Amino acid sequence: MSIIDVRGMTRRYGSGKSSFEAVSGLDLNVEEGELFGLLGTNGAGKTSTLEVIQGLSRASEGSVSIMGMDPIRDRRDVRPNLGIMLQKGGLPSDLTALESLEMWAGTCSNPLPVREVLGRVGLADRGDTRVKFLSGGEQRRLDLACAIIGQPRVLFLDEPTTGLDPESRRNTWTLIEELKRSGVTIMLTTHYLDEAEQLCDRLAFMHKGRVVRSGTVADVVVGHPARIRLELPPVPLPELTSARIDVEDGKLVIDTAALQDTLTELLIWAQRAGVRIDGLDARAASLETVFLSIADEFDDRKEMAA
């Protein structure tokens, strides 16, 4: 069952000739209990999309429903079921972490115990520390605590691990996965593509206000080439089957639709020719390769149509 349903949603700022269309005719749905990633370059329209879904702004065109309700018209019923973690929190700097979370819990109809939630985000020993003395990563974890303390049915996480050290980041992933297993529907934005690969059931890539790729990670990466990098060898490479060879930043770059075949062919040639291969790095298609190709691909299409 779809818990978030967006149909033909457009978000326009300003009017007349000075208007700007941040989101154009967007269609997407999020199923109950899934973790859905919304990815894209800066300015792709992710924040505008989230603001409309959350009921913080109104769509210029189209429709949005969350739990079968309009997020603005039915805000009184929708809001208690939402947990929202923004890119930047706005907690009073002179309150302690414990006081801040207690204040936030006071706005929730069914909050979890405050100290329990501080423990879940790894701040059990920082409750008496003022917000202004918390590190950037600790403040992000406190923002996450505020988002989950009300036991939301739908959780929005906007760049939740920005500024976290690797251990805290992994712990946050574990907490997010626990929330998903408990039945919470989660909508995530992140610039960490390994995070999206690890956590998301489905995802959508936005570019210039539109969804240009969507589906599971496997759906999104299918058809994109694998990449092999190596130091420039002392002699030219032979022609490699199903591969395109280029030079980037002083390194040889081989894009291939058949990674195993191309890599085998390359290594056999090097052995027979007595060539040493240095700096070899071979990677299958990933969200990173898709991300890097999207802007070029769709900008090229626009130029061809002009």
SS3 228: strand
Interatomic CA distance for residues 4 and 71, integer angstroms: 10
pLDDT value, residue 295 = 64
Mean pLDDT confidence for 205-216: 92
Of residues 295 and 65, more confidently modeled: 65
As a whole-number percent, the residues of the chain with pLDDT over 70 amount to: 96
Look at residue 20 and tell me whether its pLDDT is greater than 80: yes
Residues 255-266: pLDDT tens digits? 898 899 999 999
Look at residue 151 and tell me whether its pLDDT is greater than 70: yes
pLDDT value, residue 306 = 39
pLDDT value, residue 154 = 97
Mean pLDDT confidence for 180-184: 96
Residues 61-117: pLDDT tens digits? 999 999 999 999 999 999 999 999 988 778 899 999 999 999 999 999 899 999 999
Interatomic CA distance for residues 93 and 161, integer angstroms: 20
With vertex at residue 217, the alpha carbon angle to CA 281 and CA 191, rounded to the nearest 5 degrees, is 75
Alpha helices in 121-258 (DSSP H): 136-148, 166-181, 193-199, 217-221
Confidence of residue 303 (pLDDT cuts 50, 70, 90): very low
pTM of the full predicted structure? 0.84
Domain spanning 28-47+68-221, CATH class: alpha beta
Confidence of residue 187 (pLDDT cuts 50, 70, 90): very high
As a whole-number percent, the residues of the chain with pLDDT over 90 amount to: 70
Q: Encoding tokens for residue 52?
A: 């409309």
Q: Indicate the average pLDDT of the chain.
A: 91
Closest CA to 187 of 73, 32, 61: 32
Look at residue 291 and tell me whether its pLDDT is greater than 90: no
Mean pLDDT confidence for 246-254: 89
Look at residue 297 and tell me whether its pLDDT is greater than 70: no
* Ramachandran bin of 271, using left for φ above 0, alpha for ψ from -120 to 50, beta for the remaining angles: alpha
Q: Encoding tokens for residue 63?
A: 């429709």
Domain boundaries, the chain: 28-47+68-221, 226-284
